[in-house]
Structure 1
Amino acid sequence: MPVSPCGPGCLTSGAPVVAFPRRVLRLLAATGVVLGALPVAPALFLLGPSARQRLVRAIFRGVLRAFGVRLVVHGGASLRDLPDGRGALVVNNHISWLDIIAINAVRPMRALAKREIASWPVLGRLVSRAGSIFLDRERLRTLPGTMTELARALRSGSLVSVTPEGTTWCGRGSGRFTTATFQAAIDGGVPVRPLALRYRLADGRETTQPSFIGPESLIASLRRVARLRGLVLEMFVCPEIAPGRAADRAELAELAESAVHAALGTARIPTQHRRRSTAVKKVAA
């Protein structure tokens, strides 16, 4: 599986913070939103699509508000207005556990998630009940079966959120988009919708403080986010990549990755350079 070189040394400094009592209140408020959502989750299937989406959006927006996060969406109408019953693979650069919360605050959808998330306290149950497809990264022989399940979900009309980098990065650095999940989009005959995410402070400075990187625990990451003042999460909804536009899954992954970098204004390392760097590292080893 992909491994990110990002760690504690990537965390930016100088971010304004809130007082300790407010941090505690934020954590309690977020816990209250998630705990309150658990009893409601089974009843979601009794609601119509529009009512269900409004309720789920309200829950995830409540989590963002609890942590003091302001969500700014560019081009969000094209994501919110995707018709029900039309599947799509939604991919984004992966920085934080806040990513999936923000995406569902705009348009609720299923997710391809690492199996460990299912065991997270409280949040794991909510993610499981939302219809997530879990990937066991320790048993890669299960990957073909998981991709078959993903393709089936896409073909049946589900929107599924995927982080093709395979792990979290700090935001200043990023990983290449792996190709397996894009084969599921090809097999399912559905478009790909790239999303580009960026975290900044109220004064416009980019920050890596929300990133979930290195060996830290979820609790440590939650506490760091809870202390930030004026955190802004920017989401750029990129143009849809239609089925059949790419010759194969590798080209489709490159198109999606390029769209994310273009939206963020960051440099993308050409595939040839990546291969050359990898070859050099192998020779040096």
Structure 2
Amino acid sequence: MTTAVHAGLTAAGTSRAEGTAGLLHRVARLLAAVLVVLAGTPLALVASRAHPARRAGITRVWARTLLRALGVKVHVTAPPAVVPPVAGAGGGGALVVANHVSWLYPLVIANALRAGHTVAAFPEGTTWCGRGMGRFRPAVFQAAVDAAAEVRPVTLRYREGGKPSTRACFVGDDSLLASALRVASTRDLVAEVTILAPIRHS
């Protein structure tokens, strides 16, 4: 499954030679990512004692820094009528639901959304390669119903050189290390986040 997915990337129009970063770039990205991850422990201790809004800010900065270290760019779009949640706005929480392709998604969502109490969930229950998606399990939404919180649908996809990419996918027997190496080796990987209109219930 994993091999077929990655091999299909060439058929989509992005060859390995075109999309692969040089050796020095790969090593630099991996070292930077390791340093950011190691810095996360003391930051977590500081954040645990901070105000929720400040804690969210620290998490956002850490996630953004790790994405940059890996060479991943994030593009966020939303329809004109949709306003992304802002910390403290409305005083309520939100359940963010998204399709799930990669272990990068929690980092991307922390970088793209700001809310006082936001919980992210992936109702598919598993990861997909990015060329398709699974059925959303309704049980995941019960927490939002019980808490009277709005649901924020978000779609995420990866592009490489302007074309769909599966290099960030994390499926089958793929290991986290192999996936991280593939991400760090990709020259122009962009995570596209589309924020859709919130779903409210009475």
Superposition TM-score tier, normalisation by shorter sequence: 0.7 to 0.9
CA contact 2:37–2:66 (8 Å) conserved in 1: yes
User: Equivalent residue of 2:186, what SS?
Assistant: coil
Q: Which structure has more RCO (C-alpha within 8 Å, separation ≥ 6)? A: 2
Deviation at 1:185, TM superposition (A): 1.4
CA contact 1:196–1:235 (8 Å) conserved in 2: yes
Distance of 2:85 and 2:62 partners within structure 1: 16
- TM-score norm. by structure 1 comes to 0.63
Q: 2:105: which partner in 1?
A: 99
2:78 matches 1:75: yes
User: Which of 140, 164, 174 does residue 181 from structure 1 map onto?
Assistant: 140
User: Which of 91, 95, 112 does residue 89 from structure 1 map onto?
Assistant: 95
User: Which of 23, 33, 47 does residue 20 from structure 1 map onto?
Assistant: 23
2:41 matches 1:38: yes
2:199 matches 1:241: yes
Letter in 2 for 1:81: V
2:150 matches 1:191: yes
**RMSD of Structure 2 on Structure 1 (CA):** 2.0
- Between structure 1 and structure 2, the one with the greater Rg is 1
Distance of 1:193 and 1:217 partners within structure 2: 30
Aligned pairs, number: 191
Identity %: 41
When structure 1 is superposed on structure 2, of 36-45 and 187-196 the one drifting more is: 36-45
Q: How does 1:53-64 map to 2 (within 5 A)?
A: 53-64=56-67
Q: Quick one: structure 1 residues 238 and 82, their matched pair in 2 at CA, closer, same or farther if it must change by over 3 Å?
A: farther
Structure 1 outlier segments of 4+, above 4 Å: none
When structure 1 is superposed on structure 2, of 37-46 and 25-34 the one drifting more is: 37-46
Distance of 1:56 and 1:174 partners within structure 2: 28
Q: 2:176: which partner in 1?
A: 218
CA contact 1:71–1:233 (8 Å) conserved in 2: yes
Deviation at 1:55, TM superposition (A): 2.0
User: Equivalent residue of 1:78, what SS?
Assistant: coil
Deviation at 1:50, TM superposition (A): 3.7
Distance of 2:170 and 2:157 partners within structure 1: 14
Q: Quick one: structure 1 residues 51 and 183, their matched pair in 2 at CA, closer, same or farther if it must change by over 3 Å?
A: closer
Instruction: Give the gaps of 5 or more residues in structure 1.
Output: 1-5, 110-156, 245-285
Distance of 1:184 and 1:54 partners within structure 2: 25
More helix by share: 1
CA contact 2:84–2:195 (8 Å) conserved in 1: yes
